[in-house]
Structure 1
Amino acid sequence: MQVVEPQVRKPRMQVRGIVWVAVLVLVGLLIVFNSFATVQYGNVGLYKTFGKLNDNALSPGIHLKIPFVQTIIQVNVQVTKAETDTSASSKDLQPVSTHVAVNYSVDKSSVYKLMNNIGGSFDNVIVNPAIQEIVKEVTARYPAEDLIAKRDIVAGEVRDALTQRLAKYDLVVNDINIVNFKFSDAFDQSIEAKQVAQQQALKAENDLKRVQIEAQQKVAQAQADAESLKLKKQEVTPELIQLKQIEVQEQAVEKWDGKLPSVTGGATPFIDLNGLNAGSSRAASGGGTENNAAGGANDSVSADDEAAAQK
């Protein structure tokens, strides 16, 4: 029995030593890994020691800290968007629902003050309530129709007021956009009816202008025709009329083939009536002589026949 006891205790002591070494290594690793912290890009870090913030702002990168005593909280300083739906009334008491998007960021030099006074939920505590209050205030200054027509002016007033309000909490307003104005169905129908009436009035006005222009053109054309006719009348003289008659006669003579038409109707070529009358008289006198000669011949023939019958 005295020989076996020492052999059993040796392995136990070795196992305990290995366990303690492993524990010490693990503790050392934990201490090493908890001695460093990384601040991500777009963020600013703040030391927190037993719940107390340190005003030393940490830039992005790796930083040392006291293991198990200090922690590093990170605050996003990039541009952040806050979207809010706000219900309000316009100046003419029309219900308006406004969807607003605000781009804002945290002032890097005032991260400690913001986190120490407000905390990490500053968007719900400060930003959203400020947006709703200011949008309601600005909306109440304008009639419903002006909210649509003057959207840029309304957005500018909201931006200025919100910038002044959030500056108290070291928040920077980068931009603001009024995404949508939503009105009641009755108001939308009235706006649509008004636009239709305006379009119809504009069309009627354009038609009236067109008719007036066409009437003016007709008057101008009539005046031009009358002036032209007046000038033509002033140019007409007896000599010009005689010259035109001579030209017409010459054209008729050039076109006449020397034959009289068997059937007359419509326009006839120019004929010298004096010459035609003289020719007719000569033909009549010649025809009478021929008739007398024919009558004498007939009388001679009748006498000869009678003498022959008597024989």
Structure 2
Amino acid sequence: MEEKKIIGIGMVVGTGLIIAGILFSNCFTVDTGEVAIISTFGKVERVETEGLNFKIPFIQSKEFMEVREKTYYFGKTEEINTSLEVSTKDMQTITIELTLQASIIDPEILYRAFKNNHEARFILPRTREIVQATISKYTIEDFVSKRTEISKIIFEDLKDDFKQYGIAASNISIVNHDFSDEYERAIEQKKVAEQAVERARAEQEKLAVEAENKVKLAEYALREKELQAKANAIESNSLTPQLLKKMAIEKWNGELPKVQGQSNNFINTDI
């Protein structure tokens, strides 16, 4: 009798331990910046946030999802190259490196749409699509001069597109870009041609200035001659016979000439 009682107690204790183990194994902790998606027979039931949580054994399952802001880098690293190769409006190829900051604000919507594979199935390919679609509207020269403006347009398109799936894009930045070798050579040739044009323009402007200066000097010289001629004419018109006699008297020193010719050049003082 006592043996059966002991066996019974052992079974109860064992069962209790098994139940406790099952219950304990179905308690879980969610870290800060994460959530747990609880599903019942595959159907999303609820979303648990940080702290200690519990799910029904055998019936419910859980999957963790990181919801904190994350930076996605599209570029070249030692392990992998995820740079974006896009085509411009004038069919030039640009290799772009960019960063995207985004966080999850509605994990249930995102999980229902992509399970827990939203990065590979949505964020990365959708970013590539929007970057390509935006840059294809600009020529390569427009891209260089309007890179900041283009980044803002890409960001606005991404933000609107991500929001419907519970993702909040906070920033996108084009950190680097590289052109094809053919375009680099074309740019170099264009710079050389522009420099030659600038030198020619500067030389032409110099010659024009020199010619203009010569014209001005000739005009000044002509003007000076005209003014001198007018002054001479005024002076000539002002020299009347009376004025000439007066000037001669003022210059006479009072001495009579020692030698006189047949012509009488002696000053007439009757005036």
* TM-score, length of structure 1 as denominator length: 0.55
Do the aligned residues in 2 keep the contact of 1:148 with 1:181 (CA within 8 Å)? no
Candidates 123, 127, 130, aligned match of 1:127: 123
Candidates 144, 151, 172, aligned match of 1:176: 172
Using the alignment, how far apart are the partners of 1:90 and 1:36 within structure 2?
Answer: 51
2:219 equivalent to 1:223: yes
> Structure 2: which 5+ runs fail to align?
1-12, 75-81, 252-256, 261-271
Do the aligned residues in 1 keep the contact of 2:69 with 2:101 (CA within 8 Å)? no
Do the aligned residues in 1 keep the contact of 2:88 with 2:94 (CA within 8 Å)? yes
Larger Rg: 1
* TM-score, length of structure 2 as denominator length: 0.62
CA RMSD of aligned residues (A): 4.1
User: Which residue of the partner structure matches residue 196 of structure 2?
Assistant: 200
SS of the aligned residue for 1:169 comes to: coil
- Which string of whole-angstrom CA distances, capped at 9 and with x for unpartnered residues, describes residues 144-191 of structure 1? 333323323433443333333323322122222233333321221011
Q: Amino acid of the residue matched to residue 92 of structure 1?
A: D
Using the alignment, how far apart are the partners of 1:233 and 1:127 within structure 2?
Answer: 90
Using the alignment, how far apart are the partners of 2:45 and 2:66 within structure 1?
Answer: 13
User: Which residue of the partner structure matches residue 299 of structure 1?
Assistant: none
- Which string of whole-angstrom CA distances, capped at 9 and with x for unpartnered residues, describes residues 35-70 of structure 1? 573532xx1433647786552452x5x435469888
Using the alignment, how far apart are the partners of 1:101 and 1:207 within structure 2?
Answer: 47
- Which string of whole-angstrom CA distances, capped at 9 and with x for unpartnered residues, describes residues 255-311 of structure 1? xxxxxxxxxxxxxxxxxxx75x79xxxxxxxxxxxxxxxxxxxxxxxxxxxxxxxxx
Using the alignment, how far apart are the partners of 1:47 and 1:98 within structure 2?
Answer: 35
> Structure 1: which 5+ runs fail to align?
1-19, 251-273, 279-311
Candidates 73, 80, 97, aligned match of 2:71: 80
1:1-20 residue pairs with structure 2 within 5 A?
Answer: none
Do the aligned residues in 2 keep the contact of 1:44 with 1:57 (CA within 8 Å)? no
Shift in Å, 1:128 = 1.0
User: Which residue of the partner structure matches residue 4 of structure 1?
Assistant: none
Using the alignment, how far apart are the partners of 2:102 and 2:37 within structure 1?
Answer: 24
- Which string of whole-angstrom CA distances, capped at 9 and with x for unpartnered residues, describes residues 10-34 of structure 1? xxxxxxxxxx9xxx9xx89x95x98
2:31 equivalent to 1:39: yes
Seen in structure 2, the aligned counterparts of structure 1 residues 66 and 121 have a Cα distance that, compared at 3 Å, is closer
Using the alignment, how far apart are the partners of 2:87 and 2:64 within structure 1?
Answer: 42
Higher helix share: 1
Seen in structure 2, the aligned counterparts of structure 1 residues 201 and 165 have a Cα distance that, compared at 3 Å, is same
2:55 equivalent to 1:55: no
Do the aligned residues in 1 keep the contact of 2:67 with 2:107 (CA within 8 Å)? no
Using the alignment, how far apart are the partners of 1:49 and 1:128 within structure 2?
Answer: 26
Using the alignment, how far apart are the partners of 1:210 and 1:55 within structure 2?
Answer: 80
Using the alignment, how far apart are the partners of 2:55 and 2:135 within structure 1?
Answer: 53
Candidates 160, 169, 178, aligned match of 1:164: 160
Seen in structure 2, the aligned counterparts of structure 1 residues 47 and 190 have a Cα distance that, compared at 3 Å, is closer
Do the aligned residues in 1 keep the contact of 2:39 with 2:46 (CA within 8 Å)? no
Identity of aligned residues (%): 21
